Structure formats: C-alpha cells, structure tokens
Amino acid sequence: DAKTTQPTSMDCAEGRAANLPCNHSTISGNEYVYWYRQIHSQGPQYIIHGLKNNETNEMASLIITEDRKSSTLILPHATLRDTAVYYCIVRRPISSGSARQLTFGSGTQLTVLP
Amino acid sequence: GAGVSQSPSNKVTEKGKDVELRCDPISGHTALYWYRQRLGQGLEFLIYFQGNSAPDKSGLPSDRFSAERTGESVSTLTIQRTQQEDSAVYLCASSLASSAETQYFGPGTRLLVL
C-alpha cells in the first residue's frame, strides 16, 4: 500500500470547516484513499473513503485531486467533539492480495478551538 | 444499529494472571480483527477471523496469546501469564465480509498489568 504524508497537527475554530490534507504521491490506480479518526481514549472510527471521485457522507467530504496524488478531508462545520487524530491511509483492494489488517501512520492531530 | 462492543472496558491485573477480553462484533459481520495499541503508538495487528476460523494469526506476539470465535459472533482474546509489557488498549474491529474493506472498531479494553 502506498505511503501517506500528513501534517502533524492542525487547529480549527469551532463552526468553521476543517480541511485536512493528505499526500499520497505514489498511489497506484487501484488503491483507495481511506480516512479514519481516533478520539482520545476511544477506538478508531471510519469516516469516508474514495477511489477517484469526490465523496460525501453525513460526516465529511473527501476531495481527491485529478492526479490522485493528494486528497483533502473536509469537516464542514467542526465541533469540539471533532478533536481527534485523523488518519489517511491508502489501500489496495483485499481482492488484489492486499493485507486485510489496517496500518495507521502518525496522522494529524486536529484540535477544534472554542 | 449496535456497533462493536467490548468488555471489560478496563482491566487491571497482576503480573502472571490470565485475562480474557471479549468482543461482540456488529451483527452479520463475518470478519473480525484484534489489534493492540500501546500508549501513543499505532495499531498492532494481532489476529483475524473469517467466520470461526483464523486464517491469519501472524500478529500474536507469543504463545501466551490466543483467541477464539464461536457462532460467527463473539470472540475472546486470552492472555495467559500476563506481563507488564502486555499493558495496552486491545481493540476489536469487524467488517461485513473478509473482502469488505471498511472495518468498524469497538471502544477497546484498557489492560493494565501491575
């Protein structure tokens, strides 16, 4: 699976959009971009994933650049409860022989400020 | 619907004692994973179940660790003769099928070995 690079930390004002970048310049054609987050003292939480097209769900939006070398997770109206470590990972489909287990990097510590 | 649940949420034990950690996956999820997360560190894969069988036990750190799953539902992770280095959060995740990419995590069991 391709390596990802994320900023170590970011701050965001409550109520504002939080835009979390992720660089995955070595991504290959069949690799998906996944985002998880981990709130302090809780288990990781799935947020969203995508392949090429932008995706939106009730939690967030995922914007993937046309060359797929980077992506941005957008939390449209950040709240204090969104303070967490956000992990961007790139995974080949399991059907292609990719390992099933998840591996997180260091992630981005997002702090939402009141 | 209900998410992944784990019990106990916290466990304090003395070195040398055995502990059992329980995971109830999301109903209908056939794949189940156990991970370990030490303080401030990333996920460490332990074992993966497809149904009641464990095709991948490669992450179990020693023969003191074992896991079983029954009825394609509940799983138990057992640590025998606990050591202080076993102190960590033990996380369980489930996914709809072995080919399904998205894993949903439980809240974890915080184990402290004194």
Q: What is the 3-state secondary structure (H, E, C) of A83-114?
A: CEEEEEEEECCHHHCCCCCCCCCCCEEEEEEC
Contacting residues for A32 by C-beta, under 8 A, at least 6 apart:
A49, A50, A51, A90, A91, A92, A93, B101
Cβ neighbours around B60 below 10 Å, total: 18
| Mean pLDDT computed over every residue of chain A | 92
Range B20-40 average pLDDT: 93
Please answer whether residues B102 and B4 qualify as being in contact, where contact means their C-beta atoms are separated by less than 8 angstroms: no
A104 part of contact set with chain B, CB < 8 Å:
yes
pLDDT for residue B54: 87
Q: CB A42 to CB B42 under 8 A?
A: no
Distance from CA of A29 to the nearest CA of B (A): 17
pLDDT for residue B98: 62
Q: Over 80: is that where the pLDDT of B59 sits?
A: yes
Alpha-helical runs (H) found in chain A:
none
- For the purposes of burial, counting CB atoms within 10 Å of the CB of B114, is it exposed (0-12), middle (13-18) or buried (19 or more)? exposed
Nearest-CA residue of chain B relative to A42?
Answer: B107
B21 part of contact set with chain A, CB < 8 Å:
no
A8 part of contact set with chain B, CB < 8 Å:
no
Residue B77's nearest CA partner among B30, B102, B111, B38 is: B111
* Angstrom distances, CA of residue B3 to CA of A104, B92, B93, B106: 21, 11, 10, 7
CA distance A47 to A72: 13
Blockwise average pLDDT, block size 10, chain A, 114 residues: 89 97 92 93 92 94 96 97 95 74 88 97
Q: CB A103 to CB B45 under 8 A?
A: yes
Instruction: Please give the structure tokens belonging to residue A98.
Output: 């990719």
Cβ neighbours around A26 below 10 Å, total: 12
pLDDT band at B99 (very low <50, low <70, confident <90, very high): low
Residues in chain A closer than 8 A to B48 (CB atoms): 100-101
Q: Over 60: is that where the pLDDT of B75 sits?
A: yes
CA distance A100 to A91: 9
Nearest to A101 among B33, B100, B105 (CB): B33
Instruction: Please give the structure tokens belonging to residue A45.
Output: 């939480």
pLDDT for residue B24: 97
Q: Which residues make beta-bridge pairs with B10?
A: B110
pLDDT for residue B42: 85
CA distance B94 to A12: 32
Residue A86's nearest CA partner among A74, A96, A94 is: A74
Find the range with the poorest average confidence among A34-48, B11-25, B39-53, B76-90: B39-53
Please answer whether residues A70 and A24 qualify as being in contact, where contact means their C-beta atoms are separated by less than 8 angstroms: yes
Q: Over 70: is that where the pLDDT of B1 sits?
A: no
Ramachandran angles phi, psi of A87, nearest 5° = -110, 130
Nearest-CA residue of chain B relative to A39?
Answer: B107
